[in-house]
C-alpha cells in the first residue's frame, strides 16, 4: 500500500512540476521572441516613450504589444511580474527530490559501493551542493568576471562539469544526474529571485518616484540581463537532464558525468544558434556541428559486447545457475508481484519470473546488469563482477 500511494504522490508532484516548468520556460521563450520581433513604433507612440511595437493574433483575438524605453509616465495599477512560475518550479522540484530520492527508494540515490550514506547524510550532501554551487555562482556574477560573457560561460561550464563529476563519486547514477539538474535549476531560480526581480523592483521604484533610473539601477539592470542570458543558455541542458533521467543508458553509463558534460555542451551550443538567429545572424554551421557531436556521442556511448575470449565464455553457463542468480538478484523487484516493499508492480514493466522473460529483455538486461552495474538497483543484493560476466555469457549463448 505504501508503495502504491508513494507512486501516486510522486506522479502528482511530477505533473505539477512539469506544468510549472512549462509555464516558466514558455513565458521566457515568449518574451525572448517578443523582444526579437519588436518593430519601430509610429511617431505618436514614440512620443509616449514606446520603443518597440508588435501586433499578434492568437486565440481569435488581435493583440497590440508595446515595449517602453523605461516605463509609462504613470505606473499601471496592475503590473504582471512572471516570477511565481520560477518559484513554483523550484518548490515542486524540491518536493519531488525529497519524495523520489531522499525519502523514496534509496536505490536511486545511494550506492553503497561509492558512499554508504544515511538518508540524513544524503540530504546534507545534496542540499549542501545545491546551496554551495548557487553561492559560488552568486559570488562570480558580482565579480569583475561578469564583464566578460564568454569567460564567465567557460568558468560556469567547468564548475558544472566538476559538480557532475563529484556527484557521480558520491551518488548512484540516477541520483547524481538529478542533482546536477537540480543545481542548474537552483541557479536559474536564484537568478530570478536574487537578480532579475530586484532589478525590476528598483526600476519600478524609480519610475514611481518619477526619477530617471540612476547608475545603481542601471548596474542592476545590466546584471539582470546577464543572468537572463545565462538562464536562456541553461534551459535546453536542464530539460535534457531532467528527461534523460528516465533513460538508464545515460545515468547508468560508466562515465555518466562525462556524458552529462557532453550533452550540456551540445545543447547549450545549439541554443546559441537560436540566439544568434534572433539577432539576425544565421549560422547553420552551429547546428551541423551540434548534430555531428551528437552522432559522435551516440557512437561513443554505444554498449560494447564483451569479446568471445572472455573466461566466462569458455564454459557453458547452465540455466539452473542463471535461474538462481535472477532469483537472488532480480526477482525481489522484477516479478509480477514484487516482494520488495518499494514496488507495487514490476519496475520498468519488466518481470523476470522465467528465463523466457529474461531472454525477451536480453539487450536491456545486458545494458543494465553486465555493461553497467545499474542493476540490481543500488546493488543492494551485492551482485559480483563474476556473476555479471556469467549473466553476460548466458545471454550471449541464449541468442
Residues forming contacts to ligand HEC in the complex (CB under 6 A) are 107, 174, 248, 329-330, 332-334, 340, 347-348, 350, 361, 364-365, 368-369, 375-377, 380-381, 383
- Smallest gap from Cβ 396 to ligand HEC, in A, equals 15
- Smallest gap from Cβ 9 to ligand HEC, in A, equals 16
Between residues 20 and 326, which has the closer beta carbon with respect to ligand HEC?
Answer: 326
Which residue matches cell numbers 546488469? 369
- Smallest gap from Cβ 330 to ligand HEC, in A, equals 3
Between residues 2 and 209, which has the closer beta carbon with respect to ligand HEC?
Answer: 2
Between residues 106 and 195, which has the closer beta carbon with respect to ligand HEC?
Answer: 106
How many H helices and E strands in the chain? 16, 2
CA separation for the pair 113, 297 (Å, rounded): 27
Q: How many CB atoms lie under 10 A from the CB of residue 324?
A: 11
**234 in Cβ contact with 268 (< 8 Å):** yes
CA separation for the pair 224, 50 (Å, rounded): 21
- Cα 108 to its chain centre, rounded Å, is 16
When CB distances to ligand HEC are compared, the closest residue is 330
Between residues 174 and 179, which has the closer beta carbon with respect to ligand HEC?
Answer: 174
Considering only the C-alpha atoms of the chain, give the largest distance between any 2 of them, rounded to a whole number of Å. Answer: 88
- Smallest gap from Cβ 247 to ligand HEC, in A, equals 7
- Smallest gap from Cβ 384 to ligand HEC, in A, equals 11
Which residue matches cell numbers 536542464? 238
Torsion of CA 267, 273, 274, 277, to 10 degrees: 180
Q: At what angle do helices 149-170 and 119-141 cross, to 10 degrees?
A: 170
- Smallest gap from Cβ 294 to ligand HEC, in A, equals 20
**217 in Cβ contact with 195 (< 8 Å):** no
Closest C-alpha to 64, from 92, 39, 36, 101:
39
Closest C-alpha to 86, from 278, 227, 261:
227
Between residues 200 and 245, which has the closer beta carbon with respect to ligand HEC?
Answer: 245
CA separation for the pair 175, 248 (Å, rounded): 12
- Smallest gap from Cβ 180 to ligand HEC, in A, equals 16
- Smallest gap from Cβ 360 to ligand HEC, in A, equals 10
Cis peptide before 315 (omega within 30 of 0): no
Between residues 260 and 368, which has the closer beta carbon with respect to ligand HEC?
Answer: 368
Between residues 217 and 365, which has the closer beta carbon with respect to ligand HEC?
Answer: 365
- Smallest gap from Cβ 251 to ligand HEC, in A, equals 8
Find the helix or strand (DSSP H, E) in which 157 lies: helix 149-170
CA separation for the pair 163, 134 (Å, rounded): 12
Between residues 36 and 244, which has the closer beta carbon with respect to ligand HEC?
Answer: 244
Between residues 43 and 356, which has the closer beta carbon with respect to ligand HEC?
Answer: 356
Closest C-alpha to 385, from 370, 363, 398:
370
CA 342 to each of CA 24, 85, 285, 303: distance values in angstroms, whole numbers, following the listed order: 33, 32, 48, 29
Q: How many CB atoms lie under 10 A from the CB of residue 144?
A: 7
- Smallest gap from Cβ 3 to ligand HEC, in A, equals 11
**338 in Cβ contact with 346 (< 8 Å):** yes
Between residues 169 and 384, which has the closer beta carbon with respect to ligand HEC?
Answer: 384
Amino acid at each position: 500500500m505504501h508503495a502504491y500511494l508513494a507512486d501516486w504522490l510522486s506522479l502528482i508532484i511530477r505533473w505539477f512540476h512539469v506544468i510549472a516548468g512549462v509555464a516558466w520556460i514558455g513565458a521566457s521563450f515568449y518574451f525572448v521572441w517578443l523582444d526579437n520581433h519588436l518593430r519601430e513604433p509610429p511617431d505618436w507612440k514614440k512620443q509616449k516613450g514606446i520603443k518597440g511595437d508588435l501586433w499578434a493574433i492568437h486565440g481569435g483575438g488581435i493583440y497590440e504589444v508595446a515595449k517602453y524605453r523605461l516605463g509609462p509616465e504613470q505606473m499601471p495599477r496592475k503590473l504582471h511580474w512572471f516570477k511565481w512560475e520560477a518559484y513554483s518550479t523550484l518548490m515542486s522540484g524540491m518536493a519531488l527530490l525529497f519524495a523520489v530520492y531522499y525519502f523514496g527508494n534509496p536505490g536511486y540515490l545511494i550506492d553503497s559501493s561509492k558512499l554508504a550514506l544515511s538518508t540524513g547524510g544524503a540530504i546534507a550532501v545534496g542540499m549542501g551542493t545545491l546551496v554551495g554551487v548557487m553561492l559560488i555562482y552568486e559570488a562570480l556574477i558580482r565579480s569583475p568576471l561578469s564583464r566578460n560573457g564568454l569567460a564567465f560561460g567557460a568558468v560556469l561550464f567547468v564548475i558544472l562539469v566538476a559538480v557532475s563529476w563529484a556527484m557521480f563519486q558520491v551518488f548512484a547514477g540516477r541520483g547524481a544526474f538529478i542533482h546536477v539538474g537540480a543545481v542548474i535549476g537552483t541557479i536559474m531560480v536564484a537568478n530570478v529571485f536574487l537578480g532579475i526581480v530586484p532589478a525590476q523592483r528598483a526600476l519600478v521604484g524609480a519610475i514611481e518616484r518619477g526619477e530617471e533610473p540612476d547608475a545603481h539601477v542601471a548596474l542592476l539592470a545590466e546584471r539582470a540581463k546577464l543572468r537572463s542570458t545565462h538562464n536562456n543558455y541553461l534551459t535546453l541542458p536542464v530539460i535534457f537532464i531532467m528527461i534523460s533521467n528516465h533513460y538508464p543508458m545515460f545515468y547508468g553509463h560508466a562515465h555518466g558525468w562525462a556524458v552529462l558534460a557532453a550533452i550540456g555542451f551540445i545543447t547549450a551550443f545549439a541554443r546559441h544558434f537560436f540566439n544568434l538567429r534572433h539577432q539576425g545572424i544565421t549560422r547553420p554551421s552551429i547546428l551541423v556541428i551540434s548534430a555531428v557531436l551528437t552522432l559522435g556521442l551516440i557512437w561513443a556511448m554505444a554498449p560494447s559486447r564483451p569479446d568471445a575470449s572472455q573466461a566466462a565464455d569458455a564454459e557453458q553457463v547452465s540455466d539452473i545457475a542463471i535461474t538462481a542468480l535472477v532469483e537472488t538478484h532480480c526477482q525481489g523487484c522484477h516479478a509480477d508481484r514484487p516482494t520488495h516493499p518499494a514496488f507495487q508492480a514490476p519496475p520498468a514493466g519488466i518481470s523476470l519470473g522465467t528465463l523466457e522473460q529474461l531472454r525477451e529483455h536480453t539487450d536491456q538486461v545486458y545494458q543494465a546488469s553486465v555493461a553497467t552495474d545499474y542493476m540490481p538497483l543500488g546493488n543492494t543484493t551485492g551482485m559480483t563482477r563474476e556473476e555479471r560476466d556469467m549473466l553476460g555469457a548466458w545471454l550471449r549463448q541464449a541468442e
